[in-house]
Chains A and B, each alone.
Chain A
Amino acid sequence: MPALILLVVALLSPSRAHAQGDTGFLVPDTVVQAPSGPRIVILEADRGGVAALRLFVPLIEGPAEAGVGRILVTLALERMAGPAGQVGARVSSERTPWGIAYTAAGAEVDLEYLTYLLRRAAERPQPETVALDRARGALQAEIERISETPAERLLYEVGRSAAPHLPPATGSPTTLGMIGSARLQEVWARSHNPSEMSIVAWTTSDPEVLHAMLGSLGAPETTSSAPLDAPDPGSALAQAPPRLRSWYAQAQIDTSTSDPHAAVAAHMIARALQESAAEFQASVRLWQLRDRTLLVVSGSAGRGRGPRMRAAISSVVDQVRDGLDAASVAASVSEVAWRYRLEARNPQGLVGVIGRALEATGQPTGAESYLSRLSAISVTSLATYLGSLSDPLTTELLP
């Protein structure tokens, strides 16, 4: 049996336990690239007894296959859930802007079983009509809910106008109708290429041991191909039901995918809008897409208050930029950093935070870099950031 050879790409830190500084907990201990296999990012676990693994599979959908990723996510979760229950492990799968992430967490002594769960997640979907119909039906119901829920419809439409080249993750009734077992397996074979995958692992095991446990993941490399090159068959939503309120949204594009200024700006805009809470309801959302980030401000107001709401939303970014001061920027930076830390407070959260940053930037240290850059944000840098956003794209739904 040939010896396992792993290429150590970078040893980032002697140990996170010894890493000094505020962001050390986000620095991986070891990163290795397995030959013809996934990149493995190890976070050395403590004695808490828990292991957490996040397997990422890049996926780009062509316009005519929109929704396939979400269906693969649903089917993978069904394959994992039963066996996970046998040992009390927790599993999840999610469609991210960049692909699909499968997560398994449980007792460290069950690590081998956790890797088995990931293999189950990444295996070829079987052509089971009932399961496929169920997954497709759930997505169709989600699209219908978006169609008739003003807040969701508003976001959907403003998102489409801000990124028309990116198919909606839910797909559309037309594309969902085109997804059969053959299409599903084709997309799976194209995307589940082991050498394109990455794993972020919180474990006490060495990368060699983890790699051996993972065995053969996904599809053979030779099946790789490009996304289906067919035109968008149309993703317009069904006509919306009558409304009682005015709904308005504006989206501004940030062309990066990991600039911490975006979260601080969103936080400050939300605070500015709180003062108008008696007049109308507003919300701020950072919407992460594959190649850009959308800063979406939306709101709804009762009859007669629509114009004031539109005016307030339209002017809020300028208002925040004009009112920037060191204290308020520092407070928002601190709050955003704290939420980041809270999310990473246990192994499952930590592999999620580091994994998502890795997927967005391609860098195992993406999360640490994000937190470092966050702490360096100043009044000047934030003003520059706000000035660099695209002109607003707007959508309105009237009564």
Chain B
Amino acid sequence: MRLAAGIRGGSLALFAVASPVAGQVGDYAYVGVGSGQTTSVAVAALHLQVGSSDDPVGMEGTAWLLGAILSDQTNAALAGTSATVSAVVGRSTTIYTMTAPRDRWGASWATLAGVIFSDLIQPAALERSRAALSATSAFEGASPTADFGREAAGLLAPPSHPWAQPPKGDSESLASITDADLQRFRDERYRPASASVGLVGTGDARDVIARVDPAPRPEIDSIAWTEGRRVTIAQDVTSAWLAISYPLPARAGRTELEFITQLVSDAVEPLVPDPSLFSMHVRLVDAPHGPVVTIETVVSPSAAAVSERRIMGAVRGLAERPPAGELFQFARRRFRAARLLEESYPENAAGRIAADLMRSGVARNLQDEIWGIDSRSLAGALALLGEPRVFFLGPDPRGPQG
């Protein structure tokens, strides 16, 4: 008996595959169908538990290169059908997203599955993707962005953990990867039986996928770290880069974690435009030992210290005085609208369903889950925010003499 999935709230039909099905989907761990959404196209998201942290030593960039090659080869195979595929390779996941005409999604999916899991790596596609990735790597490698990304990721994972290694490798590691290496990596890591699929706009697919009983949600109760830390790298650059990360309680539930991320984002955004603030991104990161909310900002060096204090003060204020009453209602209302609008794009909905299934075996009914969050549970989760880890890269705050 293989994996099963459940139905929550009636808007998602979730099925596990009982056997390979002709031309549609193969032997996948989970398949979730978003049946409550009308759309003019069909979208399938294939979620694999393979990422840059699986790259063999000395061959960093393998997962990225493979994702680029296989999406390239799939698009070539789909040419003339209107269907297209894109790949996003993360530190621990690879997601292929296919958008296709509704009346031809089955055939397009069969093509995608054939290329992704079976077709040989084509040398021309390898060289094309390697050249493109090497160029990107060389460009980014010479900028502070690469240093910042590497060091900031290092703070979120245990020392020497492969999760934190540069996801795209470097020109040397990319040059060393052969088609045989990629083939081997794919054979070992790309397994339908450990992949999930999210479908939107395909109909409920009951005619091709057997339905089985829901699987229990695994209990997750870990935290990314228990001790805060601060790391500074002085570099002669024109901007200051800051990453401030807080470990989140995993047992809070995914929707609540996303809500907290939204609240942190609202709290740290300056109320009035700040000319010294060049960019700010707040995101939820699945670090190796637990979820983390990370605030990354680029500011004028002279404003770095103030920005750091302001951000940490805002997050502390949120934890100490969580939104309650009408403020909570408004915040939840904003969050619900933002998430629903995001999911109104079928590619986002399919990707989220696939990710949910991979994470917990169950795809969420977002409306119900968001509505189920109350101010008390939110306050409890915010109270469990851990000690921050802070990374600073920029001109030495003590001046040129150090």
Residues of A within 8 A of B (CB): 16-17, 22, 25, 45-50, 85-90, 105-107, 110, 331, 334-335, 338, 341-342, 344-348, 350
* In the assembled complex, B11 has its CB within 8 A of some CB on chain A: yes
Identify the 3 closest CB pairs spanning chains A and B, nearest first.
A88-B337, A88-B334, A47-B36
CA distance A350 to B201 in the complex (A): 15
* In the assembled complex, B322 has its CB within 8 A of some CB on chain A: no
* Given A48-B36, A50-B344, A346-B345, 8 new contacts (CB under 8 A): A16-B38, A22-B103, A46-B36, A86-B334, A87-B333, A87-B337, A88-B334, A105-B344
CA distance A50 to B37 in the complex (A): 10
- Which B residues between 328 and 344 are near A, CB-CB below 8 angstroms? 330, 333-338, 340-341, 343-344
Partner of B367, one of A25, A49, A88, A341: A49
CA distance A2 to B366 in the complex (A): 40
Task: Decide: A47 and B11 in contact? CB cutoff 8 A.
Answer: yes
* In the assembled complex, B101 has its CB within 8 A of some CB on chain A: yes
Cβ contacts under 8 Å, A22 to chain B:
103
Instruction: Write the nearest CB–CB distance from B344 to chain A, whole angstroms.
Output: 4
Partner of A50, one of B333, B341, B346: B341
Task: Decide: B344 and A48 in contact? CB cutoff 8 A.
Answer: yes
Task: Decide: B82 and A335 in contact? CB cutoff 8 A.
Answer: yes
- A108 to B, closest residue via Cβ: B340
Task: Decide: A17 and B38 in contact? CB cutoff 8 A.
Answer: yes
Cβ contacts under 8 Å, B235 to chain A:
none
Task: Decide: B344 and A88 in contact? CB cutoff 8 A.
Answer: no
Task: Decide: A110 and B337 in contact? CB cutoff 8 A.
Answer: yes
Task: Decide: A345 and B39 in contact? CB cutoff 8 A.
Answer: yes
CA distance A47 to B34 in the complex (A): 10
CA distance A88 to B334 in the complex (A): 4
Task: Decide: A331 and B341 in contact? CB cutoff 8 A.
Answer: no
Task: Decide: B40 and A88 in contact? CB cutoff 8 A.
Answer: no
Instruction: Write the nearest CB–CB distance from A197 to chain B, whole angstroms.
Output: 24
Cβ contacts under 8 Å, A89 to chain B:
337
CA distance A110 to B333 in the complex (A): 9
- A84 to B, closest residue via Cβ: B337
Task: Decide: B336 and A88 in contact? CB cutoff 8 A.
Answer: yes
Instruction: Write the nearest CB–CB distance from A6 to chain B, whole angstroms.
Output: 25
Task: Decide: B333 and A88 in contact? CB cutoff 8 A.
Answer: yes
Partner of B80, one of A17, A46, A331: A331
Task: Decide: A348 and B344 in contact? CB cutoff 8 A.
Answer: yes
Which of A47, A90, A110, A334 has the largest count of B CB atoms less than 10 A from its CB? A47
Instruction: Write the nearest CB–CB distance from B260 to chain A, whole angstroms.
Output: 16
Task: Decide: B333 and A346 in contact? CB cutoff 8 A.
Answer: no
* In the assembled complex, B99 has its CB within 8 A of some CB on chain A: yes
* In the assembled complex, B77 has its CB within 8 A of some CB on chain A: no
CA distance A353 to B77 in the complex (A): 30
Task: Decide: B80 and A345 in contact? CB cutoff 8 A.
Answer: no
CA distance A85 to B366 in the complex (A): 20
Task: Decide: A345 and B345 in contact? CB cutoff 8 A.
Answer: yes
Cβ contacts under 8 Å, B101 to chain A:
338, 341
Q: A47-B11, A49-B340, A50-B344 are in contact. Are A342 and B36 (CB under 8 A)?
A: no
CA distance A348 to B333 in the complex (A): 19
- B262 to A, closest residue via Cβ: A88
CA distance A5 to B367 in the complex (A): 34
CA distance A50 to B341 in the complex (A): 7
Task: Decide: A46 and B41 in contact? CB cutoff 8 A.
Answer: no
Instruction: Write the nearest CB–CB distance from A82 to chain B, whole angstroms.
Output: 13
CA distance A22 to B36 in the complex (A): 19
Task: Decide: B340 and A50 in contact? CB cutoff 8 A.
Answer: yes
Task: Decide: B36 and A88 in contact? CB cutoff 8 A.
Answer: no
Instruction: Write the nearest CB–CB distance from B368 to chain A, whole angstroms.
Output: 10
Instruction: Write the nearest CB–CB distance from A224 to chain B, whole angstroms.
Output: 36
Cβ contacts under 8 Å, B38 to chain A:
16-17, 25, 45-46, 48
Cβ contacts under 8 Å, B367 to chain A:
49
Cβ contacts under 8 Å, A47 to chain B:
11, 36-37
